[in-house]
Structure 1
Amino acid sequence: MAQTPSFSDRPRILVVGGGYVGLYVAHKLQKKVKAHGGIVTLVDPLPYMTYQPFLPEVAGGNIEARHAVVSHRMHLTDTELITGKVTGVNHSSRTATVDPADGSEPFELPYRDIVIAAGAITRTFPIEGLAEEGIGMKTIEEAVAVRNGLLERIETGSMMQPGPERDRALTFVVVGGGFAGIEALAEMEDLARAAVKKNPRLERSDIRFVLVEAMGRIMPEVTEEQAKWVVEHLRARGVQVKLNTSLASAKGGRLKLINMPDKSPADEFETDTLVWTAGVQANPVVRNTDFPIDERGRVRANPELRITGDDGPLDGAWAAGDVSAVPDLSGGGVGGFCVPNAQHAVRQAKLLADNIYAERYGVGRVREYKHKNLGAVAGFGQYKGVANIMGFGMRGLPAWLAHRGYHGMAMPMFERKFRVVGNWVLGFVFGRDTTQLMDLQSPRRAFREAAAPPAKKQEAAPSLDKGRSEDTEKAKAK
């Protein structure tokens, strides 16, 4: 184990993870803790927090990717920032093991208080071919890749003759009928519709969208009547909605679907675009700690957001957000716990910061987390959506406005809010941006081709293209 780099030796509040919880806790505590002679340290492998509810709009071309993230350096000016991963925690000795992102040796970092805010990762299943062919909708990079991939497949497909190869290129599949999946699919379909309008070689009927959901209904956060309306709405837009259907194999891009629960064959077809949104799971880093975790891999916490074992709360240990099992005192949570969503994470983070400050510095009092559910909002592309706000159901334009209003307010930091609203205004005036960015996975291709000797340029070019070009070659081989 390497020596600890030159970091502050002041009493440290260590925040593990820079998502919703990490960003808000650090932002709210950094100046207060500094005034008391301490320091807030945030460790995350990324230099920004991603506002995940905007990922579908990034994938749909409504929001610039950089505007859906919040820079740690820009807004956490009094926080000690470490780009890397916490790979283990020994709370009995108050130390965490940090693996720097630059590849240097891991080191031990001491702390006085710790906040486990590592969030969640995509939950997958051992389905043949899924890891090779699928992509999630959990990171900003995935959203950008889905957007560019969709536009590239449409442009490439428009150059093909009708047949299996073209059908494969123009087939887009989303697995998972929760909020993330429905919003992603709807935004992708809207983007495809806009792209096709600008391409005289294609019609909307040439594009195939498929939603695969293992349960008998979608979007459990809204009423059953609203869920049925969403299915009807998607089908009216030409989307094939397959309920009670599961993905059995994705090997080589050939999807095999089965009926649930009897697992009989349902459908089989090929696609170059498979988006997986079938749930999340707590970040597995917590398994490398001495903290108590539940059967779902979440850190056990009490309503005060203290990490809690069989013998009671642990001193100086806190948790919130998707990585934690926090009791839902409102009585509405699945299994008695708060569900993993942005609404809980943001609210818990603000209370957690207050509780740490009250516990450590005696200012205020430690309170329990109890929320009033505001409901749920979802956007399905321009001027379309569904909402259930405090028991009042909406759909269409009013729900779309509620969706944008809520998330515009919930987006952290005022400068980010203005950037996002600016994107929306430009989209309203000029329409959805359907510009495809090329060679993001091989940005040096053009330079290397230009720099190669004339005799070698032709043979060098194929090896430089990665990502989609490989998919195209596989399709041609068929």
Structure 2
Amino acid sequence: MAHTPTFSDRPRVLVVGGGYVGLYTAFKLQKKIAKSGGIVTLVDPLPYMTYQPFLPEVAGGNIEARHAVVSHRKHLKQTELIQGSVTAIDHENRKAVVAPADGGAPFELGYHDVVVAAGAITRTFPIKGLAESGIGLKSIEEAVALRNQVLSLIEKASTETDPAKRQRALTFVVVGGGFAGIETIAELEDMARDAVKLNDRVEQSELRFVLVEAMGRIMPEVTEAQAIWVVEHLRSRGVEVLLNTSLANAENNHLQLINMADKSPAGEFDVDTLIWCAGVMANPMVRSTDFPIEPRGRVSVNVNLQVSGEFGVIENAWAAGDVAAVPDVTGGLPDGTCVPNAQHALRQAKRLAANLWASRFNKPLKGYKHKNLGAVAGFGQWKGVAKIMGIQLQGPLAWVAHRGYHGLAMPTVERKYRVLTDWFVAMFAGRDLTQLENLADPRGSFAAAATPKPKPAAAAPAPAVEAAPAAAPVAEAPAAPAEAAPAEAEAKEEATASK
């Protein structure tokens, strides 16, 4: 008999998305809502929250992949968890449509309050071949795959005799010069050079790392002087930094670049590794709601993180993080909204949870206000750049600041401990340079062993030879040629007939 899942019929606070905002909102509200007779329900296709600032270090082998994610079940024990995606919201009727992650039939879920925290997805452009040739760095799975791919390609190239295929395997391209792109190419370059030191068949000079950025500068979050220093730093490590350059075509892993100034060709070459880090966009699921959406595709909210449109506040609807256009009262982007980063998302979640709870008792709500403290970035061991409260750092001090900030920002004490342990071990033992193979087909070797092997074809039987009549022993003679057999048989028949 099939088991039908049941969900609580208590008044529900529905949290759409389990990232920074979803995790912290549910964590802050679950006990309070439960004591008041309600329940917090979190819906996300993944069973964990990913701390995305650590993805470059996971790809670079400095942090164990599972330590960069936070389990929903372990830390949201009083929250109703549904592994799936909210595909539509009808707030007028307080209904949401949920599609289970296992492909089951979608179902409706009622709620009292809804928190839209669906986050962002990778932003791409209609470039031919990009979907087939590229990989992003937005998920823990992508980080693990990148780490294994880079290490495996170095090993593959070490036995490759075709110069073109060897160069293709040892060429790594990152598109996007923001924080994610810079940290990714720096960590992978650092890891690749450590790996080559252990392989005598590959020379350091054979590694080729290329950064492609369409704008005239990188990392808009830091000062122009620091951005110039980062470019010089990367180039001193052998990284090719191509500014004002864009990817035009990536079909069959053959990249064609163009100059953004005059649209002229800017080079072409083959690669096995194309990493896309050219920005993010709000989760498009919000377009399947009856909430007001601003021009950049985000949910419109007021300073209290309430969904709000031209007709005022929409009661019992909240949003924050990358999917929401949160006003920045301290002065931020030109459009006056908060930068979509972890620093804002973590703080917005706590403010949203406090305001939602206060609204239950008609208490005054407090607006979100946080001045960006700055930015930190790590470029591999003892290398980095930072701007903290106007103070500019680069090199080892910036690297320490980067690890200090993100170590503190990592959610939950348990995960902080695991990450700090990873860093401590790596300082003495070095980064982990072991690639894991066959993750895409883990059953391959077992299936091959368990598949019955066809029996070898039986050898053709030798032609029968008539026994010779008994005779006195004679010396063994060499075998007669095959052609002599018929003549010998005829002679025997004639002898028998004459008797």
TM exceeding 0.5: yes
Structure 2 distance, partners of 1:74, 1:111, is 24
Cα pair 2:332 2:339 within 8 Å, conserved: no
Cα pair 1:65 1:144 within 8 Å, conserved: yes
Q: Is it true that 1:201 corresponds to 2:201 in the alignment?
A: yes
Structure 1 distance, partners of 2:453, 2:311, is 73
Secondary structure in 2 matching 1:231? helix
2:130 is aligned with what amino acid? Answer: L
Structure 1 distance, partners of 2:216, 2:375, is 20
Deviation at 1:6, TM superposition (A): 1.3
Give me the TM-score of the superposition, normalised by structure 2.
Answer: 0.90
Secondary structure in 2 matching 1:37? coil
In the other structure, the counterpart of 2:479 is none
Cα deviations by residue, 1:107-138 (Å, 9 ceiling, x for unpaired) = 10000000000000000000000000000010
In the other structure, the counterpart of 1:371 is 370
**Rg: which structure is higher?**
2
Structure 2 distance, partners of 1:30, 1:190, is 42
Q: Is it true that 1:454 corresponds to 2:453 in the alignment?
A: yes
Secondary structure in 2 matching 1:97? strand
In the other structure, the counterpart of 2:433 is 434
In the other structure, the counterpart of 1:49 is 49
For structure 2, list consecutive stretches of 5 or more residues without a partner in the other structure.
457-499
Structure 2 distance, partners of 1:131, 1:155, is 25
Cα pair 1:4 1:109 within 8 Å, conserved: no
Q: Which has the higher mean CA deviation after the structures are superposed, 249-258 or 3-12?
A: 3-12
User: Where do 1:209-224 residues align within 5 Å?
Assistant: 209-224=209-224
User: Where do 1:14-413 residues align within 5 Å?
Assistant: 14-161=14-161, 163-362=163-362, 365-413=364-412
Secondary structure in 2 matching 1:382? coil
Moved over 4 A (4+): none
Deviation at 1:341, TM superposition (A): 0.6
Cα deviations by residue, 1:2-34 (Å, 9 ceiling, x for unpaired) = x99411111100000000000000000000111
Q: Against the structure 1 CA distance between its residues 4 and 305, is the aligned structure 2 distance closer, same or farther, given a 3 Å change threshold?
A: farther
In the other structure, the counterpart of 1:471 is none
Q: Against the structure 1 CA distance between its residues 279 and 430, is the aligned structure 2 distance closer, same or farther, given a 3 Å change threshold?
A: same
Cα deviations by residue, 1:243-293 (Å, 9 ceiling, x for unpaired) = 000000000000000001321100000000000000100000001000010
Deviation at 1:204, TM superposition (A): 1.3
Deviation at 1:333, TM superposition (A): 2.4
Structure 1 distance, partners of 2:444, 2:162, is 31
1:447 is aligned with what amino acid? Answer: F
2:8 is aligned with what amino acid? Answer: S
1:227 is aligned with what amino acid? Answer: A
Structure 2 distance, partners of 1:339, 1:143, is 24
For structure 1, list consecutive stretches of 5 or more residues without a partner in the other structure.
458-478
Structure 2 distance, partners of 1:267, 1:98, is 46
Structure 1 distance, partners of 2:427, 2:361, is 49
Structure 1 distance, partners of 2:429, 2:197, is 15
Deviation at 1:104, TM superposition (A): 1.6
Structure 1 distance, partners of 2:17, 2:361, is 23
Deviation at 1:332, TM superposition (A): 1.9
Cα pair 1:4 1:107 within 8 Å, conserved: no
Q: Which has the higher mean CA deviation after the structures are superposed, 167-176 or 259-268?
A: 259-268
Secondary structure in 2 matching 1:92? helix
Q: Against the structure 1 CA distance between its residues 288 and 453, is the aligned structure 2 distance closer, same or farther, given a 3 Å change threshold?
A: same
Deviation at 1:203, TM superposition (A): 1.6
Structure 2 distance, partners of 1:249, 1:319, is 37
In the other structure, the counterpart of 1:464 is none
C-alpha RMSD of matched pairs (Å): 1.3
Deviation at 1:383, TM superposition (A): 0.5
